A and B are shown apart, each in its own frame.
Chain A
């Protein structure tokens, strides 16, 4: 297999309104591996995925996917490039007017000319892989959160993408479906040889499946390395995050005036 990295992010800068979200992010995502991007909530992890997927345009820097600058493509070329990517959204983002079956069949119908029988076979295979073949007639509103995410995974895999993004796959899942998802992501990756990017702040689950980890905070890559090396990292900010300590260099409190003064000022107009 080609061992040049599949995705290269160089000097990425992005701001929303007056808030600078990224101040020069560099990242390499190797082929056929699971790369995790971790960081506290609000550090812009989902935004980073949208930048890599070409849904947002950076202020500076570039994102190369397989040697092509994704933000320099025409709208048409961009959509062709996106057929090689799959993305699992935080909410699942299933099309609410289509059944489970039709949701998984959607990418096949719009991008291929396969006969109906073939589409049926592929959809049932994908649904079987996530254990929801029996739920094919249900509508998205009838699914639990975990099931919706598994259907979304089946849909993201429908076209056998080379690159798949997982946006917070473990958030809000009960322990059982969390375990199922962790296993699914690892298994799918090993079986299909995909390149995966997992964005998450669930440390234990993510570290158990990731091959390489980037930690971002304050708009920069704070640390990167294998899960083992990060676990023993001496940087106090990294170790606070990796070991889930409530207070440390990353403060528990949102910046505010002195608490004592603030309480005494109650009712006084400032």
Chain B
């Protein structure tokens, strides 16, 4: 019994300690003046993290938009309300699906890659040797990746929404025959720029922070063995997915909780 309590206490301490390490890590990486070299490194990471994730994000967005329109139509048509399809597709994408699904895909595609890359750099002593050369790996390796993640996920989310709405149009209007004017018209009338688009982007920004932070920290903090790398990569995907879904509930409650 006593040992169990001790173990619980130790686990609690370890957790708090890890959170503290992760916080210090984030602070030390982000504080600092941007330099020309830093911008170049950031652009390179934008390519790896952002541009190369475009394909998976856009294809998923297209299919999610198409499925939404198909499912929505079969329900709405029973009530003769298929004119509201545009509203339904756009609101569910902008408020919920685009930020969440894009963040989950991003965690799987870019987050795991970040963890593995930084972890391998640690295992092959590249981070240590950078330190001994007198270059801070937090500034040189970690910071450009963090910033690239922060910027690219919200942009990818925009792409996800846009192509999803287009996919909904493809199925709803072109295939199922919803009147084009009501698809776009209802959408225009019901989507509010601040409440819907703004809040969706805010969500996406929070997810970007959390997912990238988890991915990069897991890579930097792992045990430098092949087993350690595989565990850390798994942890990145699991922790970021849980964090995204949990935070999504909290944010939704805060943003849309009292909306009538």
Contact = CB atoms under 8 A, between A and B. Distances in A.
Contact of A86 (B28, B124, B125, B132): B132
A89 B134 contact: no
Nearest to B123: A91
A92 to B, nearest CB: 8
Interface stretch (A63-71, A104-112, A209-217): A104-112
B134 A111 contact: yes
Interface in B115-143: 121, 124-126, 128-136
B246 to A, nearest CB: 32
B114 to A, nearest CB: 14
A83 interface: yes
Interface string A35-77: 0000000000000001001010000000000000000000100
A82 B129 contact: no
Bin chain A's interface residue count: 20 to 34
A87 B134 contact: no
A93 B126 contact: yes
Interface string A199-228: 000000000000000000000000000000
Contacts of B126: 93-96
A79 B135 contact: yes
Nearest to B125: A93
Given A91-B125, A93-B124, A96-B126, A85 B135 contact: no
B134 A80 contact: yes
A177 interface: no
Contacts of A96: 121, 124, 126
B125 A89 contact: yes
Contacts of A239: none
Nearest to B133: A107
Interface of A: 50, 53, 55, 75, 79-80, 82-83, 85-87, 89-91, 93-96, 106-107, 110-111, 152, 155, 165
30 contacts: A50-B128, A53-B131, A53-B132, A55-B128, A55-B131, A75-B28, A79-B135, A82-B131, A82-B132, A82-B134, A83-B133, A83-B134, A85-B132, A86-B132, A87-B129, A87-B132, A89-B125, A89-B128, A89-B129, A91-B124, A93-B125, A93-B126, A95-B126, A96-B121, A96-B126, A107-B133, A107-B134, A111-B134, A152-B129, A155-B133
What 5 pairs between A and B have smallest CB-CB spacing? A93-B125, A93-B129, A87-B132, A82-B134, A83-B134
